[in-house]
Amino acid sequence: MMNSMSIFCFVTFVSLGLNQMVKGDLISDTCGKALYKDLCEKTLRADPSSSGATLDGLAKIALNAASSSAKTTEGQIASLLKTTKDKDVIAALNDCNENYDSANEQLGDSLNAIAAKNYADINTWVTAAMTDGDSCEGGFKSGSSPLTQANTNFGHLCSNVLAIANQLK
């Protein structure tokens, strides 16, 4: 009797340990297919819900991070618009504001696509959002955008979303 109980406890313990290892590896495996692996892992692991998340859940976390980046960039744009005097820069910043507003809508549509399991739509919406960020960067005539770092970070986060979304198919 004691021998079977010991075996049962051992098997249960090993099973639980393996289950945790597999869940822990999902982030590494998922981000291993991304261009920006370190950023991907850092982004996903920063969210407490990632430890038990499915691939869908990881995609949502990545989308939320990209959306947060877009909102932060919109805040930067608003601040720059208050202090900038150059008309060309003001025009570019206004365009960027529209671009990031659109990007946020598209990322919201991507979250809805995950919920509906319309995974192909995620690629469409996130690619459009990335294009909005690229358009912002390219809109500065002088060639020196005050938003380069924010636009680059946003693009990298979106790229990671696409890498995750491609695994959902």
pLDDT at 4: 53
Where are the chain's structural domains? Answer: 55-166
Say whether 34 sits in a helix, a strand or coil. coil
Whether 54 has a pLDDT exceeding 90, the answer reads: yes
Say whether 93 sits in a helix, a strand or coil. helix
pLDDT at 129: 98
Sequential DSSP letters for 44-71: HHTSGGGGG--HHHHHHHHHHHHHHHHH
Whether 15 has a pLDDT exceeding 60, the answer reads: no
Architecture of domain 55-166: Up-down Bundle (1.20)
Whether 11 has a pLDDT exceeding 90, the answer reads: no
pTM: 0.84
